[in-house]
Amino acid sequence: MNSLFALNAQQKEAVTTLEGPVMILAGAGSGKTRVIIQRIVHLIQKKQVPPQQILAVTFTNKAAEEMRGRLNEMLSGKQKGVHLSTFHALGVSLLRKSIHHLGYRPNFIIYDTRDQISVIKTIMEDNDFDDRGLIDPKSVHYEISQAKSTGQGPESFLEQQESQQKQMVGKIFRQYQNTMKGCNAIDFDDILNLTLTLFEQFPDVMDTLTQRFRYFMVDEYQDTNRIQYKLLQYLTKRHRNLCVVGDDDQSIYGWRGAEVRNIFNFEKDFPEVKLIRLEQNYRSTQNILSAANQVISENTQRMPKKLWSEKQGGEKLDWLQAENEVEEMEAVTRKIRTKILQNGRRYSDYSILYRSNFQSRVVEEALREAKIPYRMLGGTSFYDREEIRDALAYLKVIYNPNDEVSLHRIINTPRRGIGKTSLMKANECCQETHLPLFKVMSRARKYERIPKDSAFTMEIFTGIISSFQQRFANEKLDIVFKDLLDEIGYLRFLETQSGDIKVRERRVMNVLELLVSIRKYSEKFPEANLQSYLERVTLFTQSDNDPESKANQVLIMTLHSAKGLEFPFVFMVGMSEGVFPNHRALEEGGEDEERRLCYVGITRAQQELTFSMSKFRKRFGESIKQEPSRFLLDINPELLAVPIVGEATEEVKKERSRESRSAFFSQFKQLEAS
């Protein structure tokens, strides 16, 4: 049977163009994986290329395994020898053979994230790097990983840093690398960096190792970073039969080092390239694709392409607008329930996509209230996030000071100078006196074995807890919680942590979102107290989904997590200026990537797509008017079931973004000024 029979003209051209550099611009849902598989089959069956000469690289082990399985089905084992792997797996295989040139032994081990953080923690403790609480092991690990992703070593990192924090990170970085090498260990980031170093410093050695590969294929090329691109250049120096498959319109990982310019520069670096566009979409209706095309066409820097489908027409895109976020999600859940009852659909046919993690709170709560089973993909449930668990631990201790699990969690968060030794001494006093830890801490200066400075701090800490016990008993929950955050300096603590500013900001936003939820709970239940609120949260966080129905659940996720997936029915919620596009991304000049993210979201839908937003977002007592996302205003109204009304001028866009950001962070700024 001719394996090319079921392919369209462009797919056939992509499969049969085998010599020289080829760039396949594969739009969403255009069958790119099928093309890669068929290329390999064609090379082996029709061109009699030995499988050992073929290298195919993708980004995830899951994708590599899927390709391996499909090849086995089509070639019945004849594909054995084809090197199918991730970039990192390829790097490891090369390092095993040649890493001795860099002073490592071939039996090196690869440390996972926990191992790496453990090494960093030990270095910090041994050198008193953390005595002021300016840095922590996780944030140091993040900084080191970010530096390595751009090819930076400790010395070049140190040269570029001026702040005390960054200098400390650089010194830890230097010692970390020395420690790792002494253990004959490398980390995930080292794999590609060391492989590149081998190519640069020992070209003859690496040429010997890679000369067997004649045909190269790279999936998801738009996600490659600088180091991966350099590796490809070295790998293909001898044989320029490089086929890259990607879509610049789906380049959404710039924040983790992916460089979309690798696609834009490909024609410059490989001037003899054959460019093939896959524009026929097999996933979505034409109405959905037309909306996607209209949104993405506003990006000025892109490779021109236009998705089309034989599924002409289709349902018009729906638009839900509510007064506030709660009502917005009520409208979404109501629509899901209605369609399931009317059409007999499964919950697993539906997906809810949102831009930022903090939005998951209102989504999760609405689904719970509606008794709709759901599963979060690629993220942590709102109430399981570290900063939320910290904040709730304070409330639990205030409600019940004998809750020692929660007490241990918050006793030095934020840092207040109660060290491990002092806490150990306090616990010894507990054992001797048979008193709970909180009681001992509240009169710590009476116990000689507890160091005086720590004892004084313990009493101050327990005094704060006791004072808020009284306030929570007599005042509104949200007001007292706001003052508690102020008193303990928790938001300032999050903001001053080292590491990615986006991560810090996201954590602050999550805590502020918790404050919003407490405020809404207080407004809904004026007689509510701390006990009832904690009971509600506890019941909420205990999954009441039937374990047997795990496969039949609405999937909720960020737009970033949705890439590569598809669903019959998709809801994109929170479609307002400042939320999506995200205000931070706009400030950093990232509108193009935000627009690509919107394009990815739209093209997840197979049959129906619904946008939603709230007219107002309440932030700290102030009701902020929301305007529809600029992306929605780019869609032809004829494609919409309900017209989207909004102001689209640049002045309005900028002003709404500023208002949103200012309102959201007003609380934090107040705390800083206090």
Tell me the longest C-alpha to C-alpha distance in the chain.
Answer: 88
Question: Of the residues 130, 143, 187, 220, which is catalytic?
Answer: 220
Q: Read off the pLDDT of residues 574-596 as tens digits, 9 standing for 90 and up.
A: 999 989 998 888 887 789 999 99
Q: How far apart are CA 355 and CA 583, in angstroms?
A: 11
User: What mean pLDDT do residues 177-190 have?
Assistant: 90
Element (H, E) at 186: strand 185-187
Please report the pLDDT score of residue 134 as a whole number. 66
User: What mean pLDDT do residues 624-637 have?
Assistant: 93
Percentage above 90 pLDDT, the chain: 49
User: What mean pLDDT do residues 346-371 have?
Assistant: 93
For residue 464, pLDDT beyond 70: yes
Q: What is the pTM of this model?
A: 0.80
Q: Which residue has the higher pLDDT, 500 or 80?
A: 80
Greatest mean pLDDT among 161-175, 525-539, 541-555 lies in 161-175
| Of 194, 220, 199, residue with least CA distance to 209 | 199
Q: Which residue has the higher pLDDT, 528 or 482?
A: 482
For residue 670, pLDDT beyond 50: no
C-beta of residue 321 within 8 angstroms of C-beta of residue 613: yes
State the pLDDT confidence band at 550, using cuts at 50, 70 and 90. Answer: low
Question: Of the residues 283, 604, 630, 653, which is catalytic?
Answer: 604
For residue 238, pLDDT beyond 90: no
Q: Read off the pLDDT of residues 121-144 as tens digits, 9 standing for 90 and up.
A: 889 888 877 555 667 888 889 889
Q: Is 219 assigned a catalytic role?
A: yes
Q: Is 615 assigned a catalytic role?
A: no
Please report the pLDDT score of residue 667 as a whole number. 44
- The per-residue DSSP string of 603-659 comes to TTEEEEEEEEEESEEEETTEEEE--B-TTGGGS-GGGBSS-------HHHHHHHHHH
C-beta of residue 636 within 8 angstroms of C-beta of residue 454: no
Please report the pLDDT score of residue 458 as a whole number. 92
Please report the pLDDT score of residue 551 as a whole number. 76
Q: Is 604 assigned a catalytic role?
A: yes
DSSP state of 253: -
The token pair at 419 is 């060290």
Question: Of the residues 250, 333, 558, 606, which is catalytic?
Answer: 250
State the pLDDT confidence band at 373, using cuts at 50, 70 and 90. Answer: very high
What 3-state DSSP class applies to 38?
A: helix
For residue 186, pLDDT beyond 60: yes
User: What mean pLDDT do residues 213-227 have?
Assistant: 93
Please report the pLDDT score of residue 100 as a whole number. 93
State the pLDDT confidence band at 646, using cuts at 50, 70 and 90. Answer: low
Please report the pLDDT score of residue 195 as a whole number. 94
Q: Is 32 assigned a catalytic role?
A: yes
User: What mean pLDDT do residues 476-486 have?
Assistant: 91
C-beta of residue 516 within 8 angstroms of C-beta of residue 482: no
Q: Which residue has the higher pLDDT, 238 or 282?
A: 282
Question: Of the residues 12, 16, 17, 33, which is catalytic?
Answer: 33
C-beta of residue 591 within 8 angstroms of C-beta of residue 653: no
Please report the pLDDT score of residue 544 as a whole number. 46
Q: Is 33 assigned a catalytic role?
A: yes
> If you average pLDDT over every residue of the chain, what do you get?
87
Percentage above 70 pLDDT, the chain: 91
Residue 554 carries which side chain, given as an amino acid letter?
A: V
Question: Of the residues 11, 32, 390, 659, which is catalytic?
Answer: 32
Lowest mean pLDDT among 463-467, 471-475, 585-589: 585-589
| Of 617, 265, 665, 349, residue with least CA distance to 492 | 665
For residue 540, pLDDT beyond 70: no
For residue 623, pLDDT beyond 80: no
Q: How far apart are CA 494 and CA 178, in angstroms?
A: 30
Lowest mean pLDDT among 65-74, 322-331, 435-444: 65-74
Please report the pLDDT score of residue 604 as a whole number. 97
Q: Read off the pLDDT of residues 390-410 as tens digits, 9 standing for 90 and up.
A: 999 999 999 888 888 888 889
Q: Is 220 assigned a catalytic role?
A: yes
Please report the pLDDT score of residue 572 as a whole number. 98
Q: How far apart are CA 281 and CA 296, in angstroms?
A: 15
Question: Of the residues 130, 143, 189, 219, which is catalytic?
Answer: 219
Please report the pLDDT score of residue 132 as a whole number. 56
Lowest mean pLDDT among 76-80, 574-578, 646-650: 646-650
